[in-house]
Structure 1
Amino acid sequence: MDIKLKKVSATNAKTHKPDLKIVKIIRKNNKYYIKVKNIGITTSNKNYLGVYSKGKLISKIKVKSLKKRFFNCFKVSFQ
């Protein structure tokens, strides 16, 4: 299965660049592990991560606020 991930929101107002960045994706069978890191200079707001397959949104993951330089990992399962 070929999937694409898109960050739905969260930008830094001064630079217009995303504060949250997908830094790693690992695939194990039907599961994807996604690591999201706050690369901004302050704590990020709550956001959503959109998971797409063949151009269609299949999952929307809520990302809690993250302190600068912190990260969070998410697991997405497919069938």
Structure 2
Amino acid sequence: MSTTSKSPRKVALVALDIGREALPRYSHLCSPKKFTQPQLFACLVLKEFFRTDYRGIMGMLKAVAHNILILYARIKPSTLAA
């Protein structure tokens, strides 16, 4: 039974789960360990979900990541505070 979703979050999570089951963690033993194959697969699924190109999806992912960092940023302690 297949279901559809309009939520990018749900689509990304399902794609990540499927990628973890079907793909190796890294493409090669000596490959750079920046992103796992399942993470890259989820990005490709989101690219198709939004019907955009590579630049478009990278812009969206950067904007979302930047906003999350802003929302969850902790206030750094100041050495001037008493």
Radius of gyration: which is bigger?
Answer: 2
Query: How high is the TM-score relative to the length of structure 1?
Result: 0.20
Please state which structure has a larger fraction of its residues in strand.
Answer: 1
Please state which structure has a larger fraction of its residues in helix.
Answer: 2
Bigger relative contact order (CA 8 A; separation at least 6): 1
